[in-house]
Amino acid sequence: TQACLTAIDGAGALNAFVHHTPEIASQQAAAADTRIKAGDAPDMCGIPLGIKDLFCTKGVPSQAASRILEGFKPEYESTVTSQLFDAGAVMLGKLNMDEFAMGSSNETSTYGNAVNPWKADDRELTPGGSSGGSASAVAADLCLAATGTDTGGSIRQPAAFTGITGLKPTYGRVSRWGVVAFASSLDQAGPMTKDVRDAAIMLQAMSGHDPKDSTSADLAVPDFEAALTGDIKGKVIGIPKEYRMDDMPADIVKLWDDGTAMLKDAGAEIREITLPHTKYALPAYYVIAPAEASSNLARYDGVRFGHRAKLAQGDGITEMYEKTRAEGFGPEVQRRVMVGTYVLSAGFYDAYYNRARKVRTLIKQDFETVFAAGVDAILTPATPSAAFGLGEMAEADPIQMYLNDVFTVTVNLAGLPGIAVPTGTNAQGLPLGLQLIGRPWEEAELLNTGYALE
């Protein structure tokens, strides 16, 4: 903990930690020492973590990187963080992210972007998003691991951009209680760690049924670490042909081919598969996620939480809402709220929202079909490129940014577990990651396949 606190002090330029909690860290570390001396030391005991700013942490600013939550200190602890702290983990502080987890580069944050510790020719790179601060902090050794959340790729893409491991669990494996909601039917929290074993250990502490989240599954949590045998002989790995895009960069093609060869050498059977509705996933996601976000974000009205705009003489409650939301939400969040309310409006509900929900079912069925045919896991690239330069995409058409999520959103739409594992580098030496997608509730097997890949 001391070493991490010192490293954090020296790494301000990464802008990864946005709220520092050294006093809490010291107290928790001392308590962990006591537990260890008493012989009661769970695996997470004394492990210094960074916590994404999307998690409500009691008495500690929890802003979801938004101006509208300025000054908000929750009265309660999220289920995930309280489980981690009960297991002895230590909180070093809160981590940067895209505002309300909307983005792929950490550039929508009210704190300004986090920076990737990897550089290409002195170009500053994005750590990815939305869990960009988490990825940057783990990659730069500012903490041993971090929490992330993933609605459309926000754990896996930043993990791939920074050369770390990130796992998005099956929808319902990890409680969403106390995690600021973006798109409730897609959001899952998960571990961002240095390797697959750490991901297994941390997922263990984060998982489990929570009566406070009605979508939390009442299922036993297997021993994830015990599953790491590295033996994948006879497992069937699906390679979806729809993910092999025409303009795929050569380094990504090579990464994917190398990973396939590695699993084959380890004894897996490689099978080409088809997931025919893949091309509709991004448009469906960018209808469903904003629709849910527009509803979830209605609570930020200047009354209940955080920021309220200064009002002029004669302003009423409508002006208060309007001014507060105009000041409090950044441009990307406003865009999502507008898209979301539009697709949910009476005249367009069937044409957009309902259609997207039908497409979502078809995407889920694509996966069910290949799993029923005996495929154990699906291997794809995690991202269409290595980390890009800061500022390179922010100004561009927002659709360019959304295209980053092309390999990851299907997993959230289908509620499946997915893991990004760093397996190579591009020509400039920047990290690249592969994604494995598993059957629902089979994180143990997924982690083991990831373990064989790293």
**Residue numbers of the site for ligand GLN (CB under 6 A)?**
101-104, 130, 150-154, 182, 289, 405
Clarify whether 119 is annotated catalytic.
Answer: no
Separation between Cα atoms, residue 131 and residue 68, nearest integer Å: 19
Preceding amide of 175 cis, omega within 30: no
Q: Which is nearer to ligand GLN, 51 or 236 (CB)?
A: 51
Q: Are 303 and 42 a contacting pair, CB within 8 Å?
A: no
**Min separation Cβ 286 and ligand GLN, Å:** 7
Q: What residues pair up with 189 in beta bridges, in sequence order?
A: 149
Q: Which is nearer to ligand GLN, 77 or 98 (CB)?
A: 98
**Min separation Cβ 454 and ligand GLN, Å:** 23
Q: Which is nearer to ligand GLN, 110 or 130 (CB)?
A: 130
**Min separation Cβ 307 and ligand GLN, Å:** 22
Q: Is 333 exposed, middle or buried (0-12, 13-18, 19+ CB in 10 A)?
A: buried
Q: Are 133 and 148 a contacting pair, CB within 8 Å?
A: no
Beta strand pairing call for 48-52 and 145-150: parallel
Q: Which is nearer to ligand GLN, 26 or 341 (CB)?
A: 341
Preceding amide of 130 cis, omega within 30: yes
Q: Which is nearer to ligand GLN, 148 or 422 (CB)?
A: 148
Clarify whether 82 is annotated catalytic.
Answer: no
**Min separation Cβ 112 and ligand GLN, Å:** 18
Residue from 130, 136, 175, 207 carrying the catalytic annotation: 130
Q: Which is nearer to ligand GLN, 371 or 407 (CB)?
A: 407
Q: Which is nearer to ligand GLN, 104 or 449 (CB)?
A: 104
**Min separation Cβ 246 and ligand GLN, Å:** 23
Residue from 62, 78, 154, 294 carrying the catalytic annotation: 154
- Per-residue tokens: 302: 């200047």
Compute the C-alpha angle 390/67/177, nearest 5°: 100
Minimal CB distance residue for ligand GLN:
154
Separation between Cα atoms, residue 399 and residue 406, nearest integer Å: 11
Q: What residues pair up with 193 in beta bridges, in sequence order?
A: 145, 165
**Min separation Cβ 179 and ligand GLN, Å:** 11
Q: What residues pair up with 48 in beta bridges, in sequence order?
A: 90
Clarify whether 130 is annotated catalytic.
Answer: yes
Upper half-sphere CA count for residue 310 (Cβ side, 13 Å): 0
Separation between Cα atoms, residue 206 and residue 202, nearest integer Å: 6
Long-range contacts of 258-266 (CB under 8 A, 24+ apart): 258/423, 258/424, 259/379, 259/423, 259/424, 259/434, 259/453, 260/379, 262/423, 262/452, 262/453, 263/232, 263/235, 263/237, 263/379, 263/449, 263/452, 263/453, 264/237, 266/230, 266/232, 266/233, 266/452
**Min separation Cβ 136 and ligand GLN, Å:** 16
- Per-residue tokens: 126: 């994005």
Residue from 52, 94, 168, 235 carrying the catalytic annotation: 52
Q: Which residues are catalytic?
A: 52, 130, 154
